[in-house]
Structure 1
Amino acid sequence: MKLANYVYGQWVEGGGEGIALLDPVNGEHLVSVSSEGVDVGRALSFARDSGGTALRALGYEARAGLLGKIAEVLTANRDAYYDISLRNSGSTAGDIAFDVDGAIFTLKAYARAGKALGDARLLKEGGRVALAKTDAFQGQHFLTPLSGVAVFINAFNFPAWGLWEKAAPALLAGVPVLVKPATPTAWLTQRMVADVVAAGILPPGALNIVCGSARDLLDHVGECDVVSFTGSADTAARIRTHPAVVARAVRVNVEADSVNSAILGPDAQPGSAEFDLAVKEIVRELTVKAGQKCTAIRRIFAPAAVARALADAVAARLAGMTVGNPRSEGVRVGPLVSKAQQAAAFEGLARLRQDAELVFGGGEGFVPVDADPAVSAFVQPTLLFCDKGLAAQHVHDVEVFGPVATVLPYADTAEVIALARRGGGSLVASVYSADAGFLAELVPGIAELHGRVMVVDAAIGGQHTGHGNVMPTCLHGGPGRAGGGEELGGLRALAMYHRRYVVQGGPGLLDALSAGAADAALLGA
């Protein structure tokens, strides 16, 4: 079966044999995708003219209602998504919930939040600005929805959540969506789009999908479009420097590489609640989705006196994690999504081992449960130990996109700040400490280079949402090598899909233009 593309209000099957999507456990050919023959320029024009116009004819609250209906459709088809995720991504039940249920949860969150904006169709920002000696001439800032398309070029690891965490704020803003999912796992994204299209919830052109090669997609983006990319820093650089993107100053949002950190404070001694909480979270980040998360822990910093004890505790728990075919009873960790990703992980692991020693895993003699290593894409959860600190050549730069992390000891707060910053910008760091003095120095010291800092102590315990769990109400993104982008953060995400402008004129005109506008301050509420 070849998956069709949904463009210009119709399903279009791409030409040729297409690219095969495989089961990463047994290598079975599942479906194929092709964008050959799809006129992506026409697709973008139709989305702008038809989908965008119809969406912006509605107010924010009405569009929020559409998101709620989408969530209902996805919930009704949840079992089908679980089956596709198992077959195409090799996901365990927990991994699938992380992706599929996370997508539904995010849609519901934006459906609720959007109601606060009422029936307005634009946002008024701040008060009037006096521009003359009297009130005769003033200025008022506004935010208006973009008339372009939100173009999503997505990663393979979250085919459900990766679409809807971006689409929810875009559609709420009144901007139509065209998604180009990563090819290896495009089946789930395409099925979700097909279900929403079949339900007739959105106007034609509001939701579009192109599967397979992006081809000349970027050649056709315009001044009012937004390109949002999740993936490698190299691809992000090519997007940012694409001639059409540069010439038209197209807005680009990027989430790229990230060597995220877990940091134990000096009080997190073996036997303490903070130590145990760190061990539990590190193991979870190594095993959920087989470490295939942009937010997963890659570097683990611990006081020198306890670093070895921490590594041993993590290794002991990893030893109890069964790795293999998710269809088999007792399996806790599934495969990577493809043989290509497996090969990339092994290559990265070899580079890390130039800096570090093996504590657990590494793949020697490893045989997954109920799977043929020759055709499957498994990587054994692996823990390394590196005592080279800032002198390490690869640990701070190489992100193995799989179940691999490295423990590094530190001497004092200044050193761990320097080590965390050496990653060059990350999506998230989690800190396990109740030491007020340590936290007062550490958090400001690393905040500049992290999009999110999660601090956990005994009082919080297991109530935290997780190092790698992205909440729709909080910022997702990071500076530097993490891409410099921002997503989610509640209604703050709508700013990406609006254009700020100021109108200068008389108070009567400004009153008329402001009538019915929602307060932009709600975006930060």
Structure 2
Amino acid sequence: MSARDQAALKSVPAAPATVAEEARAILSRLGVPDQVFAPAGRPATSPITGETIVHIRETTPEEAKAAIGRADAAFKAWRKLPAPKRGEFVRLIGEELRAAKDDLGRLVTLEAGKVTSEGLGEVQEMIDICDFAVGLSRQLYGLTIATERADHRMMETWHPLGVCGVISAFNFPVAVWSWNAALAFVCGDSVVWKPSEKTLLTALATQAIVERAAKRFGGVPEGLSEVLLGGREIGEILVEDHRVPVLSATGSTAMGRQVGPKLAARFARAILELGGNNAAIVAPSADLDLALRGIAFAAMGTAGQRCTTLRRLFVHDSVYDQLVPRLKKVYSGVKIGDPRAEGVLVGPLIDKSAFDGMERALDEARAAGGIVHGGGRYTDGACAEGYYARPALVEMPEQTGPVLRETFAPILYVMRYTDFDQVLEQHNAVGAGLSSSIFTLDMREAESFISVAGSDCGIANVNIGPSGAEIGGAFGGEKETGGGREAGSDSWKAYMRRATNTINYGKTLPLAQGVKFDVDA
């Protein structure tokens, strides 16, 4: 071998021996500074093996308040920049994400346990929302409104709101931040992000990417994008600080019940994205092959850890015995394991608490007369080190007990139905109202499902599952899901304040509604 070949061989890094080594190599390539690591800090672990990757130095309460102060000062400078210029900054973030997609997507897999395609897909979602926001930066429009007064013009204008707080969950560790941050930046707001304490590494990597974009842009005020690392105490500081006029919080309904009143008490704007006990209906006319694929992904994708995961399935009695045995076969054969491995579709649950919650729900289902297919811990090969679970399909005699609440794990409760109106009532008879779907080729059923008298969810789909939303539409739900909307459509309005303006270009002063108030001038 030539000296040149030997030198080239030495330049190729050896394959990492552990998840921790692979993750640390990615953090280094993405430019995460060593200062954030501390031997006595919070352990950042991987659900793939349970091993600790690094220890993270958490943000102190004093540092959190200082970061919010920097963000407030940054907002006051950033809001003066024309919106298309702000869009250029977001365009550069999108470019940096494209360059870092493989690394950041892999880090999502290592830290959150998502299979490879889902980790990469989450970063693609970040790229997509950046593209959307760049176009939006030239479309932050108001209305011209008809006025009853002669020689007057009435219109509305939209202005930046202030510091936007973001509290995100582990299951979409970076995409949810991007839904908020990309819009907030083009709207003229600064962003302070408190990621889940279970996924701090992906947040640090994202911040490093944003800082590279800021360096390329030049002139980004210090504090425009801040990250707070820690647990509940740090989140509460963000919730309670009057300098944060809008806060997006993603998590459980229980979390929302705590956060919402605190925001309301100081008249802050809340964008709440909470629980989702999502259902699908399989009608007599359904394309069962299509339904089978849609159900499988919606119920088992991300190991059941999506807020839009399919958790309740109503199957018409006439097709139940055709569809459900096929579903059982899919469940028994789905590949579980290390999410980095080829062909694996179901990776680990995030931690022991998630697995224990699944076990409790299955025990309750059995006690309520449910027949459980699957479930239990999966320990084949290297999976013994993490909390891997076999997806569970549970045939229930009725919608009761654990079916009425969300368990953040791969459990699908299946029930028969015969009457369409009655199944719609059952569909809507839960607290959450996030996402829903129907599989039918009957136009009347499809239109009824998405009508005013149909699904009461924020997302209602026909012939696709309830999960896998695109960024172009507004994402969010009703009832105990919180009512917040993020991502596409006109969700941008939540990050801005509206002003109604009336201009008198005449020489008289007519009052609205014919009011007379004449005084000697």
Q: Same fold (TM over 0.5)?
A: yes
Tell me how far apart the structure 2 counterparts of residues 353 and 109 of structure 1 sit (CA, whole Å): 46
Match of 2:462 in 1: 455
| 2:73 is the alignment partner of 1:49 | yes
- Give the equivalent residue in structure 2 for 1:513: none
Return the letter of the residue paired with 1:412: D
Corresponding residue number in structure 2 for 1:478: 477
CA distance in 1, matches of 2:471, 2:389: 30
Deviation at 1:37, TM superposition (A): 5.3
List gaps (5 residues or longer) in structure 1. 5-9, 269-273, 457-463, 510-525
Structure 2 residue 323 is matched with structure 1 residue 317: no
Percent of matched pairs sharing the same residue:
26
> Is contact 1:223-1:248 (8 Å) kept?
no
Structure 2 residue identity aligned to 1:225: P
Alignment counterpart, residue 135 of structure 1, candidates 110, 127, 151: 151
Secondary structure of the residue aligned to 2:198 is helix
- 1:40 is matched with 64
The match for 2:170 is: 156
Asked whether the 8 Å contact 1:259–1:298 carries over to 2, the reply is yes
- For residue 255 of structure 1, report the CA deviation from its aligned partner: 0.8
Verify the 8 A CA contact 2:154 2:501 in the aligned structure 1: yes
Separation of aligned partners in 2, 1:20 and 1:255 = 27
Q: Go from structure 1 to structure 2 and tell me whether the alpha carbon gap of 1:219 and 1:81 turns closer, same or farther (over 3 Å shift).
A: closer
- 1:427 equivalent to 2:455? Answer no
Matches within 5 A, 1:360-509: 360-363=373-376, 366-373=377-384, 375-389=385-399, 392-395=400-403, 397-444=404-451, 447=454, 449-456=456-463, 467-490=466-489, 492-507=490-505
Instruction: Quote the offset at 1:415 in angstroms.
Output: 0.8
After superposition, the Cα gap between the structure-2 partners of 1:263 and 1:49, relative to the gap in structure 1 and judged at 3 Å, is same
Distance 1:437 1:219 in 2: 45
CA deviation digits over 1:126-178, x for unaligned, max 9?
Answer: 32422x4x335x543322221x2110011110112111111111111111111
Task: Say if 2:437 and 2:466, in contact at 8 Å, map to a contact too.
Answer: yes
Aligned 8 A contact 1:129 1:140 in 2 = no
- CA change 1:288–1:440 in 2 (3 A) is closer
Q: Is 1:307 the counterpart of 2:320 in the alignment?
A: yes
**1:285, CA displacement in angstroms?**
1.7
Letter of the 2:273 partner, please give it.
E
Alignment of 1:177-326 (within 5 A): 177-199=191-213, 200=215, 201=217, 202-213=220-231, 214-215=233-234, 216-218=236-238, 220-222=240-242, 225-242=245-262, 245-268=263-286, 274-326=287-339
Deviation at 1:227, TM superposition (A): 0.8
1:263-297 deviations in whole A, cap 9, x for unaligned? 112312xxxxx211111011112232111111111
- CA shift, 1:302, in A, is 1.3
Q: 1:441 to 1:41 in 2, by over 3 A?
A: same
How far off is 1:14 after superposition? Answer: 8.7
Kept in 2: contact 1:193–1:207 (CA 8 A): yes
State the distance in 2 between where 1:150 and 1:508 align.
Answer: 40
Q: 1:105 is matched by which residue type in structure 2?
A: D
**CA distance 1:413–1:368, shift in 2 (3 Å):** same
Q: Tell me the distance in 1 between the aligned counterparts of 2:454 and 2:121.
A: 26
Please identify, of 306-315 and 213-222, the stretch whose mean Cα deviation from structure 2 is larger.
213-222
Return the TM-score normalized by structure 1.
0.83
Take 2:402 and 2:48, find their aligned partners in 1: how far apart are those partners? 30
2:247 partner amino acid = V
**1:430 Cα deviation after fit:** 1.4
CA deviations over 1:9-49 (Å, ceiling 9, x no partner): x9975988222121212221112331235422221121111
User: What is the RMSD of the two structures over their aligned residues, measured on CA atoms?
Assistant: 2.7
What is the one-letter code of the residue matched to 2:491?
A
Question: Normalized against structure 2, the TM-score is what?
Answer: 0.84
Secondary structure, aligned partner of 1:27: coil
SS of the aligned residue for 1:482 comes to: coil
The residue aligned with 2:49 is 26
CA contact (8 A) 1:325 1:370 kept: no
Counterpart for residue 523 of structure 1 = none
1:65-84 to 2 correspondence within 5 Å?
65-84=88-107
* Higher CA-based Rg: 2
Q: 1:14 to 1:331 in 2, by over 3 A?
A: closer
CA distance in 1, matches of 2:454, 2:72: 38
Structure 1 residue 410 displacement after superposition: 1.2
Q: 1:448 to 1:442 in 2, by over 3 A?
A: closer
Instruction: Letter of the 2:433 partner, please give it.
Output: S
SS of residue paired to 2:281? strand
2:81 counterpart letter in structure 1: L
1:455–1:249 distance in 2 versus 1, CA, 3 Å: same
Distance 1:48 1:14, change over 3 A: farther
Question: Residue 347 of structure 1 aligns with which residue?
Answer: 360
Does 173-182 or 438-447 show the bigger shift?
Answer: 438-447
CA distance in 1, matches of 2:346, 2:302: 7
SS in 2 for 1:394: helix
Deviations 1:357-391 (A, max 9, x none): 2352121xx53442253x411111111111224xx
Per-residue CA distance 1:317-336 (angstroms, 9 max, x = gap): 12221111224444221101
For the residues of structure 2 that align with 1:505 and 1:329, how far apart are their CA atoms? 64
Report if the CA contact (8 A) 2:105-2:122 is conserved. no
- Residues 76 and 91 of structure 1, relative CA distance in 2, 3 Å threshold: same
Q: Which amino acid aligns with 2:196?
A: A
Is the CA contact 1:307–1:407 (under 8 Å) kept in the aligned structure 2? Answer: no
Q: 1:241 to 1:191 in 2, by over 3 A?
A: same
Question: C-alpha displacement at 1:191, in angstroms?
Answer: 0.6
Which sits farther off after the overlay, 447-456 or 401-410?
A: 447-456
Is the CA contact 2:105–2:121 (under 8 Å) kept in the aligned structure 1? no
> Is the 8 Å Cα contact of residues 251 and 273 (structure 2) preserved in structure 1?
yes
Unaligned 5+ runs, structure 2: 1-19, 28-32, 508-521
Match of 1:512?
A: none
CA distance in 2, matches of 1:353, 1:252: 39
For 2:195 and 2:310, how far apart are their aligned partners in 1? Answer: 24
- Structure 1 stretch 304-313 or stretch 225-234: which is displaced more? 304-313
